[in-house]
Structure 1
Amino acid sequence: MSRRTAYWTLLVVTLVVGLNYMDRYVLAILIEPIRADLQITDTQIGLLTGAAFALLYSTLAIPIARLAERYNRVVILTCAVLLWSLATGLSGLANGFVFLLLARMLVGCGEAGAMAPSLSMVADLFPIERRATAMSIIGLGSAAGNTVAPWIGGWLQSTVGWRMSFVALGLVGVPLALLLIFTVPHPRRGLSDGAAAVVEPLPFGIAIRRLFQRRTFTLLTAALILMSIAEYSMILWMPSLFHRSFGVELQDLGARLALFQGVPFFLGTYFGGVAADRLYKHDPRWIIWVPMISVMLTAPAVFWMCMAQSENTMLWLLIVPSFANGVYIGPCYALVQNLSAVHSRATATAVLAFTVNLIGAGLGPLLLGALSGHLTAEFGEQSLRYAFYALVPLYVCAALIFIPMAFQLRSDLENARQDTLGLLDEPVTAHARKIGATQTHAST
């Protein structure tokens, strides 16, 4: 596959991921008009922004990834785009909490098929020394989605209302799905790793056991769970925090959040991938140290942001955690692919998505909303600000988890390489004999 085709694939996949995140996070800027229109509580908002999406997203990610290990990932990704776009449009037809809850769950069904096929395809196109940059470009898609979601959502809300905002965003997915299916070829698995033949996917139980036997993968999962609880809560509740604490109007707030939250996140995402790739040449452990440093900077920044007494002060302080949250995306995406054998990359992405999103996206916004509701009696409209303080220790614990990962990285990377080559010991089964025969034929 030509280099031009590889970069075209990367561009289209990045657009898909951008739409994925825009449809996911536009709900944040629309929360207040939805709350007023449908008469729902903060706990119900927490369900809409977290658990409703994460429950099916996390549950379906693994079976879809298993399909992606065997079948055409471009087709799977195209179907996913069409499904979540339909669900986004249906959200605008909601006449109550239950209808909107079901629509958001359907969005989760569609978006469950986005990341695993996308990341595994890009990993097949870019070698390990350039993979963090490629993953950070995909991360730019998520950053762009985060950046434009509050701006576009706020503008659409003030122009056509929250219902038509969902409908308009749902229609965007149709031309993107057509672009994907007609212009992106399916890359051969293991292309960038020099694999001579397509290796059959391992049975699910063996693939999972091998992944979690790599201590770096286990620790990375734990760290990302804590970070996702904090990050999802921050992104989805930030518009409400400004609105309740300082009375900022949503149409004005969308543009400001795009500038002070979205742009730094966008820049941090690109910087993190490029920095990790350049430093990786000197020491592979920089792929761990770069995200660790970013998380260490996030904790104090969130603390001081919660103490801000004016809208402008909070906006300027928001730049630091937004930039730092972007930095870790590229290195962590790449690390997941590097720690996985060629035949289990989609599965690794899905397993990580299952744990991170089920707990992070599912519980994070819900728990923060419940905590805010609990503090309302004492702090009134400022209860959400005090609930945000609970995010600080999550970032501190995540930063500490990164430290032991550096000591285990090299041996785990070698273990993943041997897994790709079929050199790890397993009980002799028909599946194992098939893989061994394939590898022997390829070597010959």
Structure 2
Amino acid sequence: MTEIAARSIDVARARSHHIDDTRGDYVYGWRLFATIFALFLVSALSQVDRILPFIMAEKIKADLSLSDAQVGLITGIAFAVCYSLLSLPLARAADRGSPRFVLVLCILGWSAMTALGGIAASFLFLAFTRFGVAFGEAGAMPAGHAIIARKIRPDRRGLAIGLFGMGIPLGTMVGFAAGGAISDAMGWRTVLFGAGAIGLLIGLLTLLLVGPTPPQQRTAATTGSFFRASLQLLSSQAFRWLFIGAVIASFAAGPFYAFAAPFLIRTHGFTASEAGLAFGLLQGVMGVVGTVLGGRLFDSAVRSRTGYVLGLPGVLFLVAGMAAVAALFTPVGWMSVLLMVPTMLSFSFMLPYGFGAAHLVSGKGREAMATSLIMIGSGLLGPAIGPLIVGMISDAATAADIPNGLSIGLLTVPAACLLTGMALLIANRRIALWLRSN
């Protein structure tokens, strides 16, 4: 009962500050800009370091005499499992202590491991460095969200989360473009050395720009183990349906990003450069638009005080599901690309909504834990299993002489989008009821 009462008080306080909160703990003016700018750099850096092995995979494979299975282990399920599960203890540390300290240590740690990857002479050593990168990056988003929760007013947090998340699509674009170009010109080891050095500088810059975070009062929300805290959050129907939506969405996002370019190449005769330019450019644009627009609209939903904060992303996923079906079977290549836009937009649009809603339900002192659980839901099963399911369906359809077998496999994407939309609409209602009852 004590924990329920404490959580109710936290939620009541958060709701009372949705419109006007002038406590001195929050930052304004140039400090607000500096905090968000630093977090954006961290987000972009983490994405760059994460995807560099993808663009350099062939060069690394040839240099170290790796098999495709070893490359897949380094870049795929092993990284995803390490990244997702280690976020829980790091998130708990951020909630209970200084999220700035946790974030800076994570940046310095994964940047050092990225640089160490440049001296790898064997699969085992390279795998060790990638596990180190995954360990460090696992704490970046939870700690960043904890900083946002403590230093930025509640009615501005959606946009702050969106700008923080904007580093993901932009980091992806920079990583692929710069990583590929520098690797061709100077070698893959130079790329890793350079990325590690830049990371160390960004870590020090973050330490200066973010500044000390307000101390977190010891409450029922910040005591106990991270495992117990996770179970408490998942016991809430409102949070559980949001978590379910994140899991299902990952089964749309994982296969979509893995097979969209091969689909355009096989089905519509695009060259690799044409598919990369069309898909990559649109994805970058939709990533920026979705995170910023989603953040602004989420803040508006919070200020409305209705509690209905997930309606728009729920509807967008339903639209994306129908558009994705059309994209897979239209005979015109450019039309197929355009019909993929709602799906691209839905993923980025959901980012500030999903994390912002998770913070509302979790209450003060558990924002990083809430972020970590949503990360696990969206980053563990879908990216690891989703592409495999699509590949197996595609292979079976092709073996059965069904034309365009990959499009049959990719039908899992619109199916997952439609199910995500329904899950989010259920979560939308559950969250509104939960907030009213608390």
Task: Identify the TM-score tier after normalising by the shorter chain.
Answer: 0.7 to 0.9
Secondary structure of 1:339's aligned partner: helix
**What CA deviation, in whole Å up to 9, does each residue of 1:321-375 have, x standing for no partner?**
2122211111111111111121222222222323332223333345445555666
CA distance in 2, matches of 1:241, 1:315: 10
Where does the alignment leave 5 or more consecutive residues of structure 2 unmatched?
1-24
Does the 8 Å CA contact 1:291/1:331 hold for their aligned counterparts? yes
Closer, same or farther: CA 172–301 of 1 in aligned 2, 3 Å = farther
Q: Is the 1:18–1:141 contact (alpha carbons within 8 Å) kept by the matching residues of 2?
A: yes
**What does the per-residue CA deviation read over 1:4-31, in whole Å, with 9 as the maximum and x for residues that have no partner?**
3233212211210121122223444445
Task: Check conservation: 1:52, 1:101, Cα contact below 8 A.
Answer: no
Asked whether the equivalents of residues 28 and 236 of structure 1 are also in contact (C-alpha less than 8 Å), the reply is no
Matched residue SS, 2:76: helix
List per-residue Cα deviations over 1:53-74 (Å, max 9, x = no partner): 1111122111111221222221
Distance 1:52 1:339 in 2: 31
Deviating more after overlay: 120-129 vs 94-103: 94-103
1:342 aligns to 2:364 (yes or no)? yes
Of the structure 1 ranges 230-239 and 240-249, higher mean CA displacement relative to structure 2 is found in: 240-249
Among 343, 347, 371, the alignment partner of 1:321 is 343
- Structure 1 position 302 matched with structure 2 position 324: yes
Distance 2:186 2:127 in 1: 22
Matched, 1:274 2:299: no
SS state at 1:343 partner: coil
* Counterpart among 391, 406, 409 of residue 428 in structure 2: 406
Aligned equivalents of 1:69, 1:16: Cα separation in 2: 19
* 254-263 or 88-97: bigger deviation: 88-97
The TM-score with structure 1 as length reference comes to 0.80
1:374 and 1:89 map into 2 onto residues whose CA distance is 42
- Output one character per residue of 1:80-99: Cα deviation in whole Å (capped at 9) or x when no partner: 11222233344455566655
1:151-197 deviation per Cα after TM superposition (whole angstroms, max 9, x unaligned): 3334334434545444433332111011012332122156xxxxxx5
1:392 aligns with 2:414: yes
- Counterpart selection for 1:357 from 371, 376, 379: 379
- For 1:8, the equivalent position in structure 2 comes to 34
Decide whether the 8 Å contact of 2:324 with 2:414 is kept in 1: yes
Aligned equivalents of 1:72, 1:282: Cα separation in 2:
32
Cα distance change of structure 1 residues 148 and 31 upon mapping to structure 2, 3 Å threshold = same
From the superposition, tell whether residues 367 and 50 of structure 1 become closer, same or farther in structure 2 (CA, over 3 Å): farther
Alignment match of 2:152 (pick from 121, 126, 130) = 126
Taking a change above 3 Å as real, the CA distance of residues 16 and 301 of structure 1, as seen in their structure-2 partners, is: same
Residue 222 (structure 2) pairs with residue 199 (structure 1): no
* Corresponding position of 2:94: 68
Which of 132, 140, 157 aligns to 1:114? It is: 140
8 Å Cα contact 2:245/2:424 also seen in 1: yes
For normalisation by structure 2, the TM-score amounts to: 0.81
What displacement does 1:248 show? 2.6
* Shift in alpha-carbon separation, 1:126–1:137, aligned structure 2, 3 A: same
Q: How much is the aligned-residue C-alpha RMSD, in angstroms?
A: 3.2
Query: Counterpart in 2 of 1:248?
Result: 271
Cα offset, 1:383, TM superposition: 5.8
Amino-acid identity (%)? 24
1:145 aligns with 2:145: no
- In structure 2, the partner of 1:219 is 241
- Tell me the distance in 2 between the aligned counterparts of 1:380 and 1:79: 52
TM superposition shift of 1:239: 4.6
Distance 1:202 1:94, change over 3 A: same
Query: Residue 211 of structure 2: SS of its match in structure 1?
Result: coil
Given that residues 328 and 407 in structure 2 are in contact (C-alpha distance below 8 angstroms), is that contact kept between their aligned partners in structure 1? Answer: yes
Of 271, 283, 286 in structure 2, the residue corresponding to residue 264 of structure 1 is: 286
Alpha-carbon separation, structure 1, partners of 2:277 and 2:132: 28
* Distance change in 2, residues 1:352/1:260 (3 Å): closer
AA aligned to 2:211 is P
Aligned length: 408
Residue 382 of structure 1, CA deviation: 6.7
- Matched residue type, 1:270: V
Letter of the structure 1 residue corresponding to residue 157 of structure 2: R
